[in-house]
Structure 1
Amino acid sequence: MDFTETEIERYARHILLPEVGGTGQRRLLEARVLVVGAGGLGAPLLMYLAAAGVGTLGVVDHDTVDLSNLQRQVIHDTGGLGRPKVDSAAERIRALNPDVRVSAFAERLTPANALDLVSSFDVVADGTDNFATRFLLNDACFLAGRTLVSAALLRFDGQLSTFKAHLGAPHPCYRCLYPEPPPRGLIPSCSEAGVLGALAGTIGCLQATEVLKEILGIGTGLSGRLLMVDALDVAFRTVRLPRDPDCPLCGTRPRYRDLSHHETGARP
């Protein structure tokens, strides 16, 4: 297990950790992580995964950088206004750690491309802001046999969990929590209800931590548990999230075993 002198210096604080060491750092360097959404969650998530030395990062986002993004999407800056988010993010990642390979996908996640994208990576992180894409990504990860680390934000609240129902019981999937998407318009988006910018950093960093733990195989992951964060009261609460035997995806009588039921054009 040979590291260059630059790698030893860059990752010294990881290598010193008995739970990581040289073996774990090599796992990170060889890992491939897909991040869907280069926004409020994706920004800190991508930066910390790059800093940790995750060897290949895929970034999916069809949007461009807007001034209203900069209150929380810290991977972008004022000079990048109007640029594709994947290009802005890739430039920042390479500046932070030039050894990281970046695969940029400036496109929407759709039923037509989701399985191919997900299958090309080891772990998938959901940094999206709408239910259509969350459900599509959950179903694609289950069908492709990939672990999904999913987070969400709204106003002063955040939540985080890990889904790997493809491994079987007792692991749940996202549909064990929400069997179907809520009616359109029932739950507002961040653009409609707002979000505290710093909270995106908090949840995004926790999400990066869970991705790194999944790659390293250390600690207790969040599969089967849902972490809920209330920033106003500085309250962190974890609740049990059991596998639902009647889940329409991973239950005993599944209704969804392909992606044909999803609407096309889901967006990050």
Structure 2
Amino acid sequence: MNDNQLLRYSRHILLDEIGIEGQERICTAHALILGAGGLGAPAALYLAASGVGRITVIDDDAVDLTNLQRQIAHTTARVGQPKVASLARAVADLNPEVQVNAVQQRADAALLDSLLPGVTVVLDCCDNYQTRQRVNAACVRHRIPLVSGAAIRWDAQVSVFDPRQDDAPCYACLFDPDADFQEVQCATMGVLAPLVGIVGSVQAAEALKLIVGTGDSLAGRLLLLDARSMDWNRLHTARNPECKVCGNGETAQPQDLQWS
């Protein structure tokens, strides 16, 4: 690390659990973020500020005026621009050392399989159930830890699904990929602006812990937040041996799915 990096990341280096060696792992890590909206924006900014060397962000949407209530990486001047381009600009302004791969595309199976090799950690920051199932299946195939977050109205959840751990569940162990799931969108139900910032920040923290290899991740635990009372609850989760993705059930084949 050079002198500028030692100064920039000094508050991390002062932490015994990170130090210089841990910060070097952060600087050489590659994080893939699925979604450049309410969750992906704060997650990307904190990962960039922390010095994650490479960030790939996937999103096929454009910045809309309604996004600005909560998607803090975007600005009024960038309304109409691709979200991935807007987020890449925000990251560059914050930390020009970070390499950003902006992918304005739907996250189909072929794309994920082409991008995941070499990735250190994946952050699911999307708002589509089927896309969540798709990225989970891809992470299981490539044995890459997945940090999953979701927020709607006043409620949120965060967990880690780590296929490197034999006893850890995957997303499909908790949520059946074949379920007839009815999507709930911010456009119709609303969402508290800072709630997505809380969840995205937790996702960034979990990703950094996984990169450094310190602390206990949320693997096997589902963290739930009710922002009305600011009560956090934690559910312990177990791997399903009959899971169709990571267990002995019929293997779920990837399908081409649409972003909502």
Instruction: Report the TM-score, using the length of structure 2 for normalisation.
Output: 0.97
Are the equivalent residues in 1 in contact too, given 2:241–2:248 (CA < 8 A)?
yes
Q: Report the equivalent of 1:199.
A: 195
- The residue matched to 2:101 in structure 1 has which SS? strand
**Structure 2 CA distance, aligned partners of 1:201 and 1:238?**
19
Aligned to 2:48: 50
Is the aligned partner of 1:236 residue 2:259?
A: no
User: How many pairs are equivalent?
Assistant: 260
Q: Which residue of 1 aligns with 2:167?
A: 170
Give the residue type in structure 1 aligned to 2:177: E
Question: Is the Cα contact below 8 Å between 1:32 and 1:122 reproduced in 2?
Answer: yes
Q: Which of the numbers 73, 77, 84 marks the counterpart of 1:86?
A: 84
Shift of 1:121: 1.3
Distance 1:181 1:129 in 2: 17
1:161 aligns with 2:159: yes
Q: Which residue of 2 aligns with 1:70?
A: 68
Regions of 4+ moved over 3 Å: none
The answer to whether the 8 Å contact 1:38/1:86 transfers is: yes
| Paired AA for residue 113 in structure 2 | L
Q: What SS is found at the alignment partner of 1:112?
A: helix
CA distance in 2, matches of 1:197, 1:152: 13
CA distance in 2, matches of 1:142, 1:236: 28
Letter of the 1:113 counterpart: L
Structure 1 regions of 5+ residues with no counterpart?
none
- Mapped partners of 1:124, 1:104: distance in 2: 15
Alignment of 1:130-141 (within 5 A): 130-141=128-139
**Separation in 2 of the partners of 1:188 and 1:17?**
40
The two structures, once aligned, show a CA RMSD in angstroms of 1.3
Shift of 1:168: 4.6
Please tell me whether residue 219 in structure 1 is matched to residue 215 in structure 2. Answer: yes
* Amino acid of the structure 1 residue aligned with 2:236: R
Whichever residue aligns with residue 252 of structure 1, its letter is N
SS at match of 1:45: helix
Q: Does 1:183 align with 2:180?
A: yes
Give identity over the alignment, percent. Answer: 42
SS of 2:148's partner is strand
Instruction: Say which SS state the counterpart of residue 113 (structure 1) adopts.
Output: helix
Query: Is 1:252 equivalent to 2:248 in the alignment?
Result: yes
Whether contact under 8 Å (1:131, 1:181) holds in the other structure is: no
Task: Please give the alpha-carbon distance, in whole angstroms, between the structure 2 residues aligned to 1:76 and 1:181.
Answer: 35
Residue by residue over 1:164-216, the C-alpha shift from the partner in whole angstroms, topping out at 9 and shown as x without a partner, is: 13x253111001101225425x2422222111111000111011000000001
Alignment of 1:109-148 (within 5 A): 109-148=107-146
Please tell me whether the aligned partners of residues 59 and 106 of structure 2 are also in contact (alpha carbons under 8 angstroms): yes
Q: What letter is aligned with 1:156?
A: W
Structure 2 Cα separation of the partners of residues 178 and 76 of structure 1: 31
User: Aligned equivalents of 2:183 and 2:135: distance in 1?
Assistant: 19
Partners of 2:238 and 2:212 lie apart in 1 by: 24
Contact 1:135 1:181 in 2 (8 A): no
For 1:54 and 1:43, locate their aligned partners in 2 and report how far apart those are by CA, in whole Å. Answer: 15
Q: For residues 71 and 174 of structure 1, what CA distance do their matches in structure 2 show? A: 29
CA separation in 2, counterparts of 1:120 and 1:113?
14
Structure 1 counterpart of 2:98 = 100
The residue type paired with residue 216 of structure 1 is V
Write out per-residue CA displacement over residues 97-151 of structure 1, whole angstroms, 9 at most, x where no aligned residue.
0000001101110122121122241110000001011000000110111111010
Which 5+ residue runs of structure 2 have no aligned equivalent? none
